Structure 1
């Protein structure tokens, strides 16, 4: 067989065996529901998720989120994964191109007297190119590109996660400060009642038991305020760890703004879950992994079929001996080598079967991730609906218990109510006020959960 016959055979081989490679789908239908079953906040009015934090009108929150993302090891690791994926893509693309290696050598030798000493200087270049008959190298490049896209999505997922964690901790501190203000106000009120009860008992107008009850109530309130203060301190230190900002300047920035919780949010949630889920970086990442696994399977299948490589070389030699100098130049194209697998003990088949198993696993994980995303959105919407339904009732209850306490306190001051009745009314008022703040915190947590579940406003065009 001459070289032209070998080339013809190499060109015909793909046509004869291409049907042996069985492609698998790179996109899988996850079958999301047609619509959300839970109520949509604000009827799903469109607003940009990417601008979600700016609507809070809290510049400190935005500043702390940026600091947390800058200091986060999670974001840093995601950036490193992007760099690694880019390097893998370059390596995979290079497999489709010819390689060239240059060499340079110098030799000075003498065989035996009276042969004169000779010097040789050699320069050469060797090239090789694997002709991608069955698309194995192209599939490898495709897999690397898909994993790069997935790594970039993972970078955004890390940023969304850090932003949500920071906001949750920030509002935990603001809620704690509001609860602390309520606890201190309650402690002050109880301390005043205990002071008056002591004076009244000393004057003989009340029993020592009432004075003891008032002192116990004041001590209990003071202990509660101290415990709440400790929780606020822990929240501040958590923010220090998340943002890498020194505690003193952070406290100054926090103290410059009063503790306020946002009353409502506007968030973009499409009516079709498929559109919302497309924003989620983890869904995009697992979808890219399915495509990459499909390409890996194609690459593994291609290894079972013949491989065609073309080599070449170019060389130059200068030889000097005994005052004479000789220059030689050589070049070659070939050999054109066709490698046909004959027997490998089932190794290539096993590699292809393993790639098929990884593809099947990627499909299952993708569908499971979609179901989990639907669950997270539904749960967040249910929590929002629940907190919204309870908010008005909680405020009405708190206002009513405040008025009831004020009336009981007036009756107690006029001697028409007992201390026990006063303390019972006080406890009820305190519980109602604490419930209002706790409900606000719960609603904020539900909004943050929905922000994460909706993907943080990410889209496939955004780049890190």
Structure 2
């Protein structure tokens, strides 16, 4: 290096080495690569609900006319072991980031000791006591930003852990909502099954009475008896399904089953209404607020910084070290001798041969960065797909619900008319059983479509990162932000 001229004094020589080596630039973060990975569509292809003519969707859960849903989500958030694990991971990542950040500063250690000595084999030798106090300091001059990039990687991973906590909250809220709607739909189907079973039992009894007086054939009576038994079988199966959903909600909410049942009782078999839940638009850049994508972006940045740190590890490392010591020797029956000393100077470590170990570490870090970037790109594409699919399901369910309601009403009227004709002797038992079966299927299909519409809302909520009123920043885990 031309500026290292003979005759430079050691401190100036060290300063010249620092200035010369630190001039080596570190590659900037891969913003262009991340921007390419974040590329989202200019507009959504799937149709928007309600034709885009209503107010924008902001606060999801308060717009459902069912306060139990919001209460259940809040209780689950407070009791969830997965969220508690996420908070513990945040504390771990923060501690690691603090440890990595501290490496950029000098380390100072204070040591003190005292020792007494008397030789047992030599008589008359006085006891000697040696005391010392020392202060040591060491600092790595970050020539190629190795230490700084390690700190940046740790900080990025700490941020990613906080974003993972947000993503877990959004996912958990959607899961609870799905389970809650699943329970209400199951309870509604249970009501339909109970009404169907009771109706078929009554028809079977009437058929048996008609058989006794010769107004019904044995075959028709047997058909209605079999239909009543089948209805009872469906009822028992549906009741068991509802019990299983409740067990799952108990596990999610952390409540006792008795307390949960008491909380759920007021809205038995009632699906949440969504009259105020409408969509004006879904911004094409909505994915920028998804916490899971933001977390993956931080992971990409961490991998980039670790790649830079591994590359910097192939080059020289310079450290400054120094120490100051004070000591005293006390001889029993004699005098005391004091002394002090100090040392200061740089040390340069220059890798010459390591059989390619450092190069392999750098190559591995580069490969991990490439993997993280590819994973981020895949997650962005999947997120776009999730939004599109949620919009398609929502649009389909809202259109199907009108027809399902009309079909259920029509089959219900047909079943009532057929039952009246059968009692008057103008319809057969087979026609009666068929009418009830069609009515049951239509009513069940209506409930399933209504539940599917709500599920599509929840999927859209999750796909958009918890709604799309873009926050100024993600809240800290200590805050009580509404999901």
Normalized against structure 1, the TM-score is what? 0.94
Q: Is the contact made by 1:269 and 1:454 (CA closer than 8 Å) also made in structure 2? A: no
Q: Which deviations, in whole Å up to 9, do the C-alpha atoms of 1:132-167 show, x marking residues without a partner?
A: 122111111111111111110100111111111111
Q: CA deviation at 1:193?
A: 0.8
* Partner of residue 312, structure 2: 302
Contact 1:10–1:338 under 8 Å retained in 2: no
Q: CA deviation at 1:5?
A: 4.1
Alignment of 1:10 with 2:17, yes or no, is yes
Does residue 61 in structure 1 map to residue 69 in structure 2?
Answer: yes
Aligned to 1:320, the other structure's residue is in SS state strand
Name 1:82's counterpart in structure 2.
Answer: 90
Specify which of 353, 372, 376 is matched with residue 386 of structure 2: 376
Q: 1:421 to 1:255 in 2, by over 3 A?
A: same
CA contact (8 A) 1:68 1:244 kept: yes
Instruction: For 1:1-400, list aligned pairs within 5 A.
Output: 2-14=9-21, 18-19=24-25, 21-26=26-31, 27-30=34-37, 31-42=39-50, 43=52, 47=56, 49=58, 51-111=59-119, 112-264=122-274, 266=277, 271-274=282-285, 276-326=286-336, 328-400=338-410
Q: How many pairs does the alignment contain?
A: 460
1:335–1:4 distance in 2 versus 1, CA, 3 Å: closer
CA contact (8 A) 2:57 2:277 kept: no
In the TM superposition, residue 23 of structure 1 has moved relative to its aligned partner by 4.1
SS of residue in 1 equivalent to 2:36: coil
Equivalent-residue separation in structure 2 for 1:348 and 1:44 (angstroms)? 60
Give the root-mean-square deviation of aligned CA atoms.
2.0
| 2: CA distance, partners of 1:325 / 1:34 | 88
Structure 1 distance, partners of 2:80, 2:22, is 53
Matching of residue 435 in structure 1 with residue 452 in structure 2: no
Do 1:52 and 1:267's aligned partners in 2 also have CA atoms closer than 8 Å? no
Cα gap change, 1:380 to 1:284, in 2 (>3 Å): same
Distance in 1 of aligned mates of 2:55 and 2:359:
51
Judging changes above 3 Å, is the alpha-carbon distance between structure 1 residues 440 and 455 closer, same or farther for their aligned structure 2 residues? same
User: Distance between the aligned counterparts of 1:442 and 1:201, measured in 2?
Assistant: 44
Q: What CA distance in whole angstroms lies between the structure 2 residues aligned with 1:193 and 1:432?
A: 20
Give distance in 2, aligned partners of 1:202 and 1:362: 78
Q: Are the aligned partners of 1:312 and 1:331 in contact in 2 as well (CA < 8 Å)?
A: no
In structure 2, the CA distance between the partners of 1:238 and 1:329, relative to structure 1 (3 Å rule), is: same
5+ residue gaps in structure 1? Answer: none
2-side partners of 1:58 and 1:385: how far apart? Answer: 22
Q: Distance in 2 between matches of 1:326 and 1:93?
A: 44
For 1:273, what is the secondary structure of its paired residue?
coil
Distance (whole Å) between structure 1 residues aligned to residue 287 and residue 278 of structure 2: 15
Task: Give deviations 1:195-242, integer Å, cap 9, x for gaps.
Answer: 111111111111222221121111111111111111111111111111
Looking at structure 2, the residues matched to 267 and 325 of structure 1 have their Cα atoms a distance apart, in angstroms, of: 92
Note the C-alpha offset of 1:269: 7.7
* Cα offset, 1:399, TM superposition: 0.9
CA–CA distance in structure 2, aligned partners of residues 169 and 431 of structure 1 = 23
CA distance 1:350–1:218, shift in 2 (3 Å)? same
The answer to whether the aligner puts 1:445 opposite 2:452 as a matched pair is: no
Secondary structure at the residue paired with 2:84? helix
Secondary structure class of the residue paired with 1:278: helix
- SS, match of residue 111 in structure 2: strand
CA distance 1:155–1:15, shift in 2 (3 Å): closer
